[in-house]
């Protein structure tokens, strides 16, 4: 390598606008070599635009970035020779077979014909696609397509991989398969920049996370740090009767402070640092006539982190109705 | 490595070891040269002819129907006999058939763009115009196929050009060269418009009237004078005339020169436009 920097990605002040939309509005990133870095944000936050700049597909309007030591604008070709991209749309050719897709990529990366064929066979077997190798990709399921897409990205092992929402739209089983592949890649030393809307995904895979919203990084840290920054813990309550949620919200707000309302209509969460205050709040809630199905005292989820940071839930786009939360600055 | 407990089916924890082996086993070969990369994209185009023959069929069936319809319905009325009309119309339909196929170059590029395939190609360390040039080289084989179908149909119907096989091949080559130039117009369109369908509609909206307002079907002498003037300068007319000439053995060098000049001009204007847009993404 031409550089000894321990950072695989160093981005400063990246900006990209489309017409009036400021898709990316001053993003800084520092990603260590060999790590999985999660870029977490809701739809439209600017994740794909950030990845496309770093993968040299579009030029930033302002700001600079070095990927594996190479400037993404001045040395775009050198960057391309070291990275691979698995785009948000599974970027494989639907009109070709799985095997043909991999041979095509192998040839384009400089493998000779026999080497490209052998490599395709090896990857199809490793990714559980040997049986479907001769079928056209348009007949593949979403999970198979995504696995082929990732296989296409490692026909020649990249030093850094961009993965843009690799499990969006997949069923839980396929999602787990993709997660296992990502873990295997990391175990072999590949650096990964992973964009996702799923908090659980970032929590499961990433060493570091940048939370982005409206084109800006609004928080950065390890999953643990992000959780800690919101509060030391949270009280999660589930009601027997969702109709009592408003009543329960009033009681908990009085006892402990701002309540967040998860998607589950029978659930409430409230940040709560001390266990005995939580126990007291539960007692008050029970006495008020609200029937409780169960409750737990634990770490805040990344969902709550996101809500606390942005004022809107992560899975919904901006502008959705939001539960009342205070804005908290983190990091 | 922690294997997920829900994992099942054809992808088992044992494969994770295989995945790791597969990842660790490669070293990076030197990137391919420009020609090699372009030819690989040409190969991709060939595979598509094999897997999606419908696309080629769509654009070939219309010209085939035109040959049959015009020759047997109107041939007698227009040229006195069906045989004579076939001599006139066949080179014209050859032109039409191949030029219709060029629209698909734009449609295919737009499909790649909307499906995200272009993003992958653009992230590869290859000569940047290789995907475009290679695809058009592959498409040229399509043009040859669709032209050959028309010629074979003509032969079946009794078409016997005076200049024989050599003349026919020369005409086919000229048409394919012109089509190569024209297809850059449609690749530009393919990068500007939003969907493959929009490219198809816009493409045919342009190529259809241009083909009908040419001498492909009728001699312009019978037309009103304003129309006749347009038909005479329409490059498609000149291409049709040159093709007829090559097939009959009486081609005029001037016509051929004009056709080649137009092909070069289209390439000179639209190839850089396509390449620049493609680069920018
Ligand atoms: N090519 C484009 N043209 C116009 N607007 C775009 C384009 N790409 C992205 N945008 C806009 O930029 C914003 C960020 O988009 P994107 O980076 O795709 O977000 P994410 O990947 O986080 O969902 C969105 O408002 C989106 O509509
Ligand atoms: Mg996106």
For chain A, domain boundaries: 4-227+315-325, 232-299
pLDDT at A112: 93
Residue identifier of the C-alpha nearest atom 3 of ligand 1: A18
Which of B92, B71, B73 is closest to B82 using CA atoms? B71
Domain locations in chain B? 32-280
Higher per-residue confidence, A305 vs A32: A32
What phi-psi label fits residue A165: left (phi over 0), alpha (psi between -120 and 50 degrees) or beta?
left
Q: Assign A1 a pLDDT band (cuts: 50, 70, 90).
A: very low
pLDDT at A231: 61
pLDDT at A165: 93
Q: Assign A4 a pLDDT band (cuts: 50, 70, 90).
A: low
- Give A83's contacts in chain B (Cβ within 8 Å): 123
Higher per-residue confidence, B1 vs A200: A200
Which of A99, A144, A94 is closest to A119 using CA atoms? A99
Q: Which residues of chain B have pLDDT under 70?
A: 1-15, 25-26, 281
Answer whether A196's CB lies under 8 Å from A170's CB: no
Which of B228, B232, B224, B226 is closest to B258 using CA atoms? B232
Please report how the helices A302-310 and A223-230 are oriented relative to each other, as an axis angle in degrees rounded to 10: 60
Which of A163, A196, A165, A168 is closest to A54 using CA atoms? A163
pLDDT at A5: 72
- Give B131's contacts in chain A (Cβ within 8 Å): none
Residue range A202-211: average pLDDT? Answer: 91
Concatenated DSSP letters of B136-159: HHHHHHHHHHHHHHHHHHHHHTT-
pLDDT at B11: 59
Residue appearing with tokens 């983190």: A330
Q: Assign A162 a pLDDT band (cuts: 50, 70, 90).
A: very high
pTM of model > 0.95: no
- The Cα–Cα gap between A285 and A301 comes to 23
Give the ipTM of the model, two decimals please.
Answer: 0.87
- The Cα–Cα gap between B35 and B55 comes to 27
- The Cα–Cα gap between A19 and A5 comes to 36
Q: Is A100 on the interface with B (CB under 8 A)?
A: yes
pLDDT at A261: 86
What are the C-alpha distances in Å from B111 to residues A94, A330, B13, B107? 10, 43, 36, 6
Q: Assign A329 a pLDDT band (cuts: 50, 70, 90).
A: very low
Looking at CATH, the fold of the domain delimited by A4-227+315-325 is given as Rossmann fold (3.40.50)
pLDDT at B3: 39
If you count residue pairs, one on A and one on B, with CB atoms under 8 Å apart, how many are there? 153
| Model confidence at A109: pLDDT above 90 | yes
pLDDT at B116: 86
**β-sheet bridge partners, residue A259:** A270
Whether the CB of A48 sits within 6 Å of ligand 1:
yes
Show the tokens assigned to B55. Answer: 């696309």
Looking at CATH, the fold of the domain delimited by A232-299 is given as Alpha-Beta Plaits (3.30.70)
Which of B207, B206, B188 is closest to B110 using CA atoms? B188
Residue range A19-24: average pLDDT? Answer: 91
Answer whether A25's CB lies under 8 Å from A164's CB: no
pLDDT at A208: 93
Which of A202, A133, A139 is closest to A166 using CA atoms? A202
Q: How far apart are the first and last CA of chain B?
A: 38
- How close is the nearest chain A Cα to the Cα of B122, in Å? 7
Whether the CB of A43 sits within 6 Å of ligand 1:
yes
- How close is the nearest chain B Cα to the Cα of A96, in Å? 7
- The Cα–Cα gap between B110 and A232 comes to 51
- The Cα–Cα gap between B131 and A99 comes to 19
* DSSP three-state, residue A196: strand
Task: Output the CA torsion sign for A41, A43, A48, A49.
Answer: negative
Higher per-residue confidence, A282 vs B10: A282
Residue identifier of the C-alpha nearest atom 5 of ligand 1: A18
Interval B64-79: pLDDT, tens = 998 888 888 887 777 7
Residue B48 CA to its chain's centroid (Å): 13
| Model confidence at A118: pLDDT above 60 | yes
Tell me what the pLDDT averaged over chain A comes to: 86
| Model confidence at A292: pLDDT above 70 | yes
Interval A59-84: pLDDT, tens = 999 999 999 999 999 999 999 999 99
Higher per-residue confidence, B257 vs A202: B257
Residue range A178-198: average pLDDT? Answer: 90
Q: How many angstroms is it from A34 CA to the middle of ligand 2? A: 23
């Amino acid at each position: 390598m031409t550089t000894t920097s321990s950072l695989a990605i160093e981005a400063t002040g990246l900006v990209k606008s489309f017409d009036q939309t400021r898709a990316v509005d001053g993003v800084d990133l520092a990603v260590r070599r060999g790590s999985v870095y999660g870029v977490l944000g809701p739809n439209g936050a600017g994740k794909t635009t950030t990845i496309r700049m770093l993968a040299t597909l579009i030029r930033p309007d302002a700001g600079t970035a070095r990927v594996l030591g190479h400037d993404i604008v001045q040395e775009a070709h050198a960057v391309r020779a070291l990275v691979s991209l698995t785009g948000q749309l599974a970027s494989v050719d639907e009109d070709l077979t799985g095997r043909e897709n991999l041979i095509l990529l192998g040839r384009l990366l400089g493998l000779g014909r026999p080497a490209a064929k052998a490599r395709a066979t090896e990857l199809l077997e490793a990714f559980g696609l040997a049986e479907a190798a001769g079928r056209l990709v348009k007949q593949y399921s979403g999970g198979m397509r995504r696995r082929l897409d990732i296989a296409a990205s490692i026909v020649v092992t990249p030093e850094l991989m961009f993965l843009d929402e690799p499990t969006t739209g997949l069923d839980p089983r396929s999602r787990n398969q993709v997660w296992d592949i990502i873990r295997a890649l990391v175990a072999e030393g590949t650096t990964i920049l992973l964009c996702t809307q799923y908090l659980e995904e970032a929590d499961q895979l990433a060493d570091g996370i940048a939370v982005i919203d409206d084109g800006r990084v609004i928080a950065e840290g390890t999953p643990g740090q992000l959780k800690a920054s919101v509060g030391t813990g949270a009280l999660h309550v589930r009601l027997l009767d969702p109709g009592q949620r408003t009543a329960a919200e009033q009681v908990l707000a009085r006892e402990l402070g701002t309540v967040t309302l998860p998607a589950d209509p029978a659930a409430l969460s409230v940040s709560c640092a001390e266990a005995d205050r939580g126990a007291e709040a539960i007692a008050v809630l029970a006495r008020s006539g609200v029937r409780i199905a169960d409750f737990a005292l634990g770490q805040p989820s990344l969902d709550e982190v996101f809500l606390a940071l942005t004022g809107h839930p992560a899975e919904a786009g901006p502008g959705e109705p939001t539960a009342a939360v205070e804005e908290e600055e983190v990091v | 490595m922690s294997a997920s407990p829900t994992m099942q089916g054809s992808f088992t924890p044992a494969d994770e070891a295989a995945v790791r082996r597969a990842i660790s086993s490669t070293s990076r070969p030197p990137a391919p040269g420009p020609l090699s990369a372009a030819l690989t994209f040409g190969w991709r185009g060939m595979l598509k002819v094999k897997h999606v023959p419908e696309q080629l069929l769509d654009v070939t069936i219309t010209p085939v129907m035109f040959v049959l319809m015009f020759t047997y319905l109107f041939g007698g009325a227009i040229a006195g006999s069906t045989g004579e009309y076939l001599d006139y119309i066949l080179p014209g339909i050859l032109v039409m058939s191949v030029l219709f196929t060029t629209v698909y170059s734009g449609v295919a590029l737009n499909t790649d763009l909307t499906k995200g395939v272009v993003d992958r190609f653009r992230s590869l360390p290859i000569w940047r115009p290789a995907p475009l040039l290679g695809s058009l080289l592959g498409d040229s084989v399509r043009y040859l196929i669709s032209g050959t179908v028309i010629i074979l149909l003509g032969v079946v119907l009794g078409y016997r050009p005076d200049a024989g096989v050599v003349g026919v091949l020369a005409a086919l080559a000229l048409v394919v060269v012109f089509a190569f130039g024209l297809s850059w117009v449609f690749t530009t369109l393919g990068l500007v418009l939003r969907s493959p369908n929009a490219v198809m509609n816009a493409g045919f909206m342009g190529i259809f009237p241009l083909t009908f307002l040419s001498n492909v079907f009728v001699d312009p002498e019978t037309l009103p004078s304003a129309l006749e003037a347009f038909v005479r300068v329409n490059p498609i007319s000149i291409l049709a005339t040159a093709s007829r000439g090559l097939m009959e053995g009486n081609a005029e060098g001037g016509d051929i020169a004009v056709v080649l000049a137009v092909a070069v001009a289209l390439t000179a204007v639209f190839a850089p436009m396509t390449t620049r847009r493609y680069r920018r993404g």
